[in-house]
């Protein structure tokens, strides 16, 4: 299991290959017990890229953040280290915490948007109010994550601003769609233990529109994270894109959370219109009542799904957005 755990194994100029076969890469990287500062120049450490800015990669290893450059070999191989990558770094300067990334360990997942490696799940945050939830955007996000085989947990934040009945309605809709749903309020510190349970031991990307409270949640989970938060604009009821870089924050042992800039639209890509229905778990139960096999639930006669929408058993909002996405995907194919 420990062999072959490196996908990018650059050779040195002399042609020797770095042997990492004795390194235990599954060992936790965030380890309070490893006393920081014990390393020396030229030591080889395993760490995780938590941020990449201006050609530098910031690698968290043994409790210290090293500012690293990636060897030219990666550029030559057209491999871009990603936030989330587990890497080996060679210490260049112990006092200034500088290093060189020498290899990238095997990725077990890779997301395109946001570009991040080794994420276990997504936590998508929408505010219950201020700004009010854009379900079209949420459903687009859920579809794209499912397309990439990424599990998503939904967090509705700012629960202090709406009634319990409102929360229950949204919970029912999205649980029927097959998602775990969490409600939180950073003002009241609600949902904290549930969030900790979901996140513990995993690397999670935090996603959602601007102004919904992603950075505030991050700060609630780890006050040391100190993420910038911003008021939402009163006029346009939107966030101000306070967060501009993706950054992975070590929360606790083996647990990382990535704050990402808010998104404002998501294009469905690489999906055929006929395939869209498979992203709607709540349809499954009613599909046996469709007259036609392979029914797209889009105006066909005797459609079990449409009947269920009319009876209120399937959320009308979810279905309306489904129809919109379906048309969008169908139209796109013509060009
Ligand atoms: N009432 C209420 N306000 C909240 C809550 N969480 C965050 N806010 C406020 O919402 C505003 C936006 O919060 P941020 O944490 O900056 O939002 P963000 O999602 O990180 O936004 P971007 O970085 O722009 O993508 C701030 O004024 C927060 O104080 C909450 O649970 N309840
Ligand atoms: Mg933010
Ligand atoms: Zn149907």
Tell me the pairing of strands 64-70 and 56-61. antiparallel
pLDDT exceeds cutoff 60 at 65: yes
Do 123 and 251 belong together in one domain?
A: yes
Same domain, 36 and 102: yes
pLDDT 10s digits, 223-264: 787 777 877 666 666 666 666 677 898 888 889 998 887 888
Q: What is the mean pLDDT of residues 13-27?
A: 29
- CA 53 to chain centroid, in Å, comes to 19
* CA 188/CA 158 separation, integer angstroms: 9
In a domain, 40, yes or no: yes
CA dihedral 151, 188, 135, 222 (to 10 degrees): -40
Quote the ligand 3 centre to 141 CA distance (angstroms): 23
Residues 65 and 136 in one domain: no
Same domain, 97 and 122: no
Q: What is the mean pLDDT of the chain?
A: 85
Average pLDDT over residues 66-94: 91
User: Which residues have CB under 6 Å of ligand 1?
Assistant: 157-158, 160-161, 185-187, 208, 210-216, 229-232, 239-243, 261-262
Residue labelled with tokens 């920081």? 36
Instruction: Tell me: do 127 and 254 sit in the same domain.
Output: yes
What is the predicted pLDDT for the residue at 243?
A: 64
Domain-embedded: residue 264: no
The reply to whether the predicted model has a pTM over 0.85 is: no
Kindly report the protein residue whose alpha carbon is nearest to atom 16 of ligand 1: 229
How many DSSP H helices and E strands does the chain contain? 7, 14
Enter the DSSP assignment of 159. G
Question: Does residue 5 surpass a pLDDT of 80?
Answer: no
- The yes-or-no verdict on residue 11 having pLDDT over 60 is no
Neighbours of ion ligand 3 (CB under 5 A): 290, 295, 297, 303, 305
Q: Is the dihedral of CA 101, 74, 52, 254 positive or negative?
A: negative
Contact status, residue 84 vs residue 248, Cβ threshold 8 Å: yes
Of 239, 249, 260, 261, which is best to mutate to test ligand 1, by the most ligand atoms within 8 angstroms of its C-beta? 239
DSSP secondary structure string for all residues of 60-94: EETTEEEEEEE-HHHHHTT----TT-EEEEEEEET
Q: Are residues 233 and 322 in the same domain?
A: no
**43 occurs within a structural domain:** yes
297 lies in some domain: yes
Count Cβ neighbours within 10 Å for each residue of 248-285 and write b for 16 or more, e otherwise: bbbbeebbbbbbbbbbeebebeebebeebbebbebbee
Q: How many CA atoms lie within 13 A of 244 on its CB side?
A: 3
267 φ, ψ (degrees, to nearest 5): -90, 135
**DSSP secondary-structure letter at 319?**
H
User: 319 and 288, same structural domain?
Assistant: yes
CATH number of the domain residue 299 falls in:
1.10.40.50
Contact 262, 210 (CB under 8 A): yes
HEC-encoded secondary structure of 278-312: HHCHHHHHHHHHCCCCCCCCCCCCCCHHHHHHHHC
Closest ligand to Cα 128: 1
Percent of the chain clearing pLDDT 90 (strictly above): 64
Q: Which of 54, 77, 107 is the last residue of a domain?
A: 107
Confidence band, pLDDT 50/70/90 cuts, at residue 285: very high
Please tell me the total count of domains within the chain.
Answer: 3
Domain end position, chosen among 259, 289, 315: 259
* Residue 27 pLDDT exceeds 70: no
**CA 126–ligand 2 middle distance (angstroms):** 12
Nearest ligand 1 atom to alpha carbon 260: 25
Return the ligand 1 atom nearest residue 261 CA. Answer: 25
Kindly give the number of the ligand 1 atom that is closest to the alpha carbon of 231.
27
Is 132's pLDDT higher than 90? yes
Same domain, 157 and 255: yes
Q: What is the CATH number of the domain that holds 100?
A: 2.40.50.140
- Shared domain for 121 and 101, answered yes or no, is no
Range of the domain at 253: 111-259
- The yes-or-no verdict on residue 14 having pLDDT over 60 is no
State which of 53, 87, 107 marks the end of a domain. Answer: 107
Q: At what angle do helices 214-221 and 192-199 cross, to 10 degrees?
A: 90
For the ranges 38-52, 72-86, 170-184, the lowest mean pLDDT is seen at 72-86
Q: pLDDT, tens digit, for every residue of 38-53?
A: 789 999 999 999 999 8
């Amino acid at each position: 299991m420990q062999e072959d755990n490196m996908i990018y194994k650059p050779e040195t100029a002399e042609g020797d290959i770095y042997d990492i076969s004795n390194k235990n890469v599954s060992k936790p990287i965030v380890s309070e017990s490893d006393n920081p500062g014990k390393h020396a120049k030229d030591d080889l450490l395993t760490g995780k890229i938590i941020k990449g800015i201006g050609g530098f990669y910031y690698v968290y290893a043994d409790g210290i953040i090293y500012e690293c450059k990636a060897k030219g070999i990666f550029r030559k191989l057209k491999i871009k280290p990603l936030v989330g990558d587990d890497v080996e770094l060679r210490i260049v300067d112990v006092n200034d915490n500088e290093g060189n990334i020498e290899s990238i360990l095997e990725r077990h997942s890779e997301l395109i948007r946001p570009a991040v490696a080794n994420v276990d799940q997504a936590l998508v945050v929408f505010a219950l109010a201020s700004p009010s939830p854009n379900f079209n955007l949420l459903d687009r996000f859920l579809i794209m994550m499912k397309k990439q085989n990424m599990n998503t947990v939904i967090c509705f934040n700012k629960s202090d601003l709406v009634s319990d009945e409102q929360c229950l309605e949204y919970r029912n809709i999205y649980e029927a769609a097959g998602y775990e749903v969490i409600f939180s309020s950073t003002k009241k510190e609600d949902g904290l233990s549930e969030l900790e349970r979901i996140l513990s031991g995993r690397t999670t990307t935090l996603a959602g529109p601007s102004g919904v409270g992603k950075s505030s949640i991050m700060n609630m989970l780890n006050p040391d994270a100190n993420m910038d938060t911003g008021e939402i604009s009163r006029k346009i009821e939107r966030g101000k894109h306070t967060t501009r870089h993706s950054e992975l924050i070590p929360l606790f042992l083996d647990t990382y959370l990535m704050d990402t800039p808010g998104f404002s639209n998501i294009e469905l890509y690489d999906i055929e219109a006929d395939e869209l229905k498979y992203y709607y778990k709540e349809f499954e139960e009613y599909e046996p009542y469709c007259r036609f096999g392979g029914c797209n639930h889009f105006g066909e006669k005797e459609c079990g799904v449409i009947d269920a929408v009319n009876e209120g058993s399937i959320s009308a909002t979810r279905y309306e957005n489904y129809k919109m996405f379906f048309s969008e995907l169908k139209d796109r194919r013509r060009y």
